[in-house]
């Protein structure tokens, strides 16, 4: 054995031993830090999503094995999750030690002082601070869960709502030729709203002419569920330059154009008409589609393109037991009106919805220390790659470089790369503490627009006025 | 006196439970209904509002629309359930092959949780995957889309409720029919009364208390329907199926408008009591034997 080989073997051995020692060291930390809380049962409530199920099925049992602290995670529907968490924190019953905080509700929770300052809590109890946990390692998505620089929720999922298209259809020579003949343009993923509509119209007609169950676009257009409201205000309106639901906090929370808002602006009205046209040429189930049904429609091969929540990207592209279009999905940025990309780059606006959530620690929890340990555990770099592969979510910067994530990125056609490179162009919900209240006040009018009971122009005028009325009633608008 | 005390002792656990889980929450709802309270408002605490919430209800178009559509739903659903339930009860009174099997099968919807009933009907009515739109399209060329058609959504919610609750009506009426003495029927037949006359003058008056109890139960249940409808239509399309229970749910839970939502709940309770009283007066009181 020559010197170089000996040196190599020695380095490898040292590295392996260091790694093992580090892992053993980490295990020692969890066991030692958790010693006073052994036997504690933590209760958590979250929405039933792939990332949450991974926590329940993988991370919680792992944590229990290392610490002796049992974590009982309750995964339920979106509505129930909010209902249970808010009631618990409002009444101060202390049932839950961990609650899911969707990005759009964090401002309401902070306004009500529902959440524990995780940064401060760890500073106050240094014996609970794991060396493997560092909140500086989170992606910029963590900023949504910060107040005055302190973290109030450990990010556990983050996705983009992206433009998905069928590569097999877009690359089909017969379809390409027919599209060129009909429109005079080459068939390629759209970048403008006009291009998107042209493609959608073409494919709906193509499906009809060829007796196929194929339509030109998805539409999350349920006529009685907030999902449609969200699709419009968080995914469609911004691409026309209407940001933050068209409510301007700096102008006394104005929503109407008359008072300085944009909810009923010409841009908003143009956006709504564009989207309503797409709804009209989308698969018939769209009028009953929420976020998950849109993904199902796309996975069933019933739409040529559409806006789909990124949490579904992995299974649509790779899971043959659930998706008919595996290996055929392309991902791109949403289509935009002129000026929107400049707004996004300059920070004035955004191109689409950055969805996600975190796990927080209610101030009413009776097991704060044990819960802090659990939150640190799920926030470490080392648990992230497996989690990212199981559910396409990334919340830590280091996760992008993990080999298994890179492999998955290739399978997903660069979805993670888009999240890494273009994530900054997207934004979550605006920082309002009255999220559900304004939505619920205006949603009935929005549903009436969807059913054609009132027109889009009149409807948006009414919605903007109703939003201001609600904000006045809540005491935010003076 | 002794037996009275013993009776109260036996009743005490039930009274205590009812007090804490029935009376106290009700009193709290009444208390909250006189306040403006939204925990996500700029002022998240309860503010005494007098009768403000009740005044608002009178002019609240969304509430009145919801009430109107609820009354229509309750009328059609309960009426259909009583008629179909009676016909089925009569059918089960006679012997036919497989009677026991069919009687068991027809009660199965009763044991299904409302939220599951909503899910089942959603699956059955969703265009592209639902069996009902498929059959209607292939047989009569009708496109059923309860996400778009208000009338279709309204009718489907009634059919769903009838499917779910008719067995309860059937079972109650079977019990009533079985307990009827045979003599009056034999005498009526001897006197030459027809089937309709027997039904109207003998059967109906004799089973009226059971029908009344069933109608009360179904009326109260139908007025507070939430789970099935929330799952099936979400209250849509538009507000076509935003029945009062769904309206209260959306007002209280997602919108966290606790004060106003409580006031609506109190008003709906009052209206339910009034409806039951009117029904009782209208159906039973005229049949009371005259003293003279």
A39 and A129 in a common domain: yes
Question: Is residue A50, in this structure, part of any structural domain at all?
Answer: yes
Residue at token pair 């092959």? B97
In chain A, the number of structural domains is: 2
DSSP-assigned letter for residue B60: -
Are A325 and A188 members of one domain? yes
A388-399, pLDDT tens digit by residue?
A: 988 878 999 999
Residue A384 lies in a domain: no
Q: Per-residue pLDDT tens for A245-267?
A: 999 999 999 999 999 999 999 99
pLDDT of residue A339: 97
Based on the domain organization, do A77 and A145 belong to the same domain?
Answer: yes
Domain boundaries, chain B: 67-285
Query: Residue holding tokens 């039904």?
Result: B199
* A6-10, A25-29, A246-250, B152-156: range with lowest mean pLDDT: A6-10
Is residue A376 a contact partner of residue A71, using CB atoms and an 8 Å limit?
A: no
Are B276 and B219 a contacting pair, CB within 8 Å? yes
pLDDT at A1: 47
Q: What are phi and psi of A383, to 5 degrees?
A: -90, -5
Same domain, A250 and A107: no
**Measured between beta carbons, which residues in chain A are less than 8 angstroms from residue B143?**
284
Q: Taking residues B135-159, what's their average pLDDT?
A: 96
Q: What percent of chain B has pLDDT over 70?
A: 96
- Tell me: pLDDT of A7 over 80: no
Nearest CA in chain A to B45: A112
Indicate if A302 and A211 belong to the same structural domain. Answer: yes
Closest residue, chain B, to A453 (C-alpha): B238
A–B: how many Cβ contacts below 8 A?
108
- Distant-in-sequence, close-in-space partners of A63: CB < 8 Å, separation ≥ 6: A30, A69, A71, A373, A374, A377, A378
Fold of B67-285: MetI-like fold (1.10.3720)
Q: A78 and A144 share a domain?
A: yes
Residue-level pLDDT at A78: 82
Structure tokens at B67: 């009430």
Mutate to test the interface with B, among A80, A112, A288, A470 (most CBs of B within 10 A): A288
The owner of tokens 């877009």 is: A170
Contacts A223 to B, Cβ<8 Å: 147-148, 233-234, 236-238
Model pLDDT, residue A5: 52
Q: Write down the ipTM of this complex.
A: 0.87
> Given an 8 Å threshold on Cβ–Cβ distance, is A79 in contact with B236?
no
What pLDDT sits at residue A8? 52
**Which residues does B contribute to its contact with A (CB < 8 Å)?**
38-44, 62, 122, 126-129, 143, 145-148, 150, 233-242, 250-251, 253-257
CATH number, domain at A45?
3.40.190.10
Q: Which domain holds residue A57?
A: 33-153+361-379
| Residues of chain B contacting A90 with CB distance shorter than 8 Å | 39
- A237 and A297 part of one domain: yes
For chain B, what is the radius of gyration of the CA atoms?
Answer: 23
Highest mean pLDDT among A77-81, A240-244, A317-321: A240-244
**Chain A hits for B227, Cβ within 8 Å:** none
The answer to whether position A458 is within a domain reads: yes
Q: Is A229 found in the same domain as A122? A: no
- Tell me what the pLDDT averaged over chain B comes to: 92
pLDDT more than 70, % of chain A: 95
Same domain, A293 and A340: yes
Residue A287 to residue B237, Cβ atoms within 8 A? yes
Mean pLDDT of A42-54: 92
Which residue of B234, B240, B256 is in closest CB contact with A437?
B256
Q: Which chain B residues have a beta carbon less than 8 Å from that of A111?
A: 40, 44
The reply to whether A177 and A245 lie within a common domain is: yes
In chain A, the residue whose alpha carbon lies closest to the alpha carbon of B235 is: A224
Indicate whether A367 and A347 sit together in one domain. Answer: no
């Amino acid at each position: 054995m020559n010197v170089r080989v000996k040196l190599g073997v020695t380095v490898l051995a040292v590295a392996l031993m260091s790694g093992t020692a580090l892992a053993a060291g980490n295990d020692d930390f969890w066991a030692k830090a958790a010693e006073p809380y052994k036997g504690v049962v933590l209760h958590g409530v979250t929405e039933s999503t792939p990332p949450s199920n991974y926590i329940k099925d993988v991370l919680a049992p792992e944590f229990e094995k290392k610490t002796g602290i049992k974590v009982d995670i309750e995964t339920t529907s979106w509505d129930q999750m909010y209902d249970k968490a808010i009631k618990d924190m409002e009444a101060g019953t202390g049932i839950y030690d961990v609650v899911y905080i969707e990005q759009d509700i964090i401002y309401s929770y902070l306004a009500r002082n529902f959440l524990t300052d995780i940064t401060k809590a760890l500073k106050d109890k240094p014996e609970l601070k794991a060396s493997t946990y560092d909140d500086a390692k989170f992606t910029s998505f963590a900023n949504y869960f910060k107040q005055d620089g302190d973290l109030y929720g450990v990010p556990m999922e983050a996705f983009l709502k992206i433009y998905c298209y069928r590569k097999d259809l877009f690359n089909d020579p017969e379809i390409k030729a027919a599209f060129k003949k009909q429109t005079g343009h080459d068939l390629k993923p759209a970048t403008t709203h006009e291009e998107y509509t042209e493609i959608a119209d073409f494919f709906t007609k193509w499906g009809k002419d060829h007796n196929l169950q194929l339509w030109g676009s998805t539409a999350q257009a349920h006529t009685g569920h907030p999902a449609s409201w969200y699709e419009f205000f968080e995914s469609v309106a911004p691409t026309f330059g209407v940001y933050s639901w068209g409510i301007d906090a700096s102008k006394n929370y104005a929503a109407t154009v008359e008072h300085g808002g944009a909810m009923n602006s010409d841009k908003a009205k143009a956006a709504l008409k564009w989207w309503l046209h797409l709804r009209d040429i989308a698969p018939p189930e769209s009028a009953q589609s929420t976020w998950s049904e849109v993904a199902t429609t796309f996975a069933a091969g019933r739409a040529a393109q559409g806006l789909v929540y990124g949490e579904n990207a992995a299974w649509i592209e790779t899971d043959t037991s659930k998706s008919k279009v595996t290996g055929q999905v392309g991902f791109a940025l949403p289509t935009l009106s002129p000026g929107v990309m400049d707004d996004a780059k300059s920070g004035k606006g955004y191109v689409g919805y950055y969805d996600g959530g975190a796990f927080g620690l209610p101030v009413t929890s009776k097991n704060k220390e044990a819960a802090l340990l659990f939150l640190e555990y799920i926030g470490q770099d080392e648990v992230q790659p497996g989690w990212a592969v199981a559910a396409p979510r990334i919340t830590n910067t280091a996760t992008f470089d993990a080999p298994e994530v890179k492999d998955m990125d290739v399978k997903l056609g660069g979805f993670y790369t888009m999240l890494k490179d273009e994530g900054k162009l997207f934004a979550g919900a605006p920082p309002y503490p009255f999220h559900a209240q304004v939505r619920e006040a205006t949603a009935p009018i929005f549903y009436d627009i969807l059913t054609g009971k009132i027109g889009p122009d009149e409807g948006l005028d009414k919605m903007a006025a109703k939003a201001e009325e609600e904000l006045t009633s809540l005491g935010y608008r003076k | 006196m002794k037996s009275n005390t013993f009776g109260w002792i036996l009743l005490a656990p039930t009274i205590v439970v009812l007090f804490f889980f029935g009376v106290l929450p009700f009193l709290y709802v009444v208390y909250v209904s006189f306040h403006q309270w939204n925990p996500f408002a700029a002022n998240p605490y309860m503010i005494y509002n007098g009768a403000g919430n009740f005044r608002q209800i009178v002019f609240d178009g969304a509430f009145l629309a919801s009430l109107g559509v609820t009354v229509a739903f309750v009328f059609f659903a309960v009426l259909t359930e009583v008629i179909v339930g009676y016909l089925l009860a009569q059918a089960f009174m006679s012997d036919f092959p497989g009677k026991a099997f069919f009687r068991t099968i027809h009660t199965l919807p009763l044991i299904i949780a409302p939220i599951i009933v909503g899910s089942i009907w959603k699956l059955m009515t969703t265009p592209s995957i639902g069996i009902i739109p498929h059959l209607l399209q292939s047989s009569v060329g009708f496109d059923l889309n309860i996400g778009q058609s208000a009338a279709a959504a309204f009718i489907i919610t009634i059919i769903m409720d009838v499917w779910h609750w008719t067995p309860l009506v059937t079972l109650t009426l079977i019990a009533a029919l079985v307990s009827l003495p045979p003599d009056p029927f034999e005498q009526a037949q001897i006197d030459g009364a027809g089937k309709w006359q027997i039904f109207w003058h003998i059967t109906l008056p004799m089973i009226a208390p059971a029908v009344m109890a069933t109608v009360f139960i179904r009326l109260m249940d139908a007025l507070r329907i939430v789970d099935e409808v929330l799952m099936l239509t979400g209250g849509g399309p538009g507000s076509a199926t935003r029945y009062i229970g769904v309206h209260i749910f959306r007002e209280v839970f997602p919108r966290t408008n606790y004060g106003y939502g409580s006031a609506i709940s109190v008003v709906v309770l009052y209206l339910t009591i009034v409806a039951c009283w009117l029904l009782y007066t209208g159906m039973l009181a005229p049949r009371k034997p005259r003293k003279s």
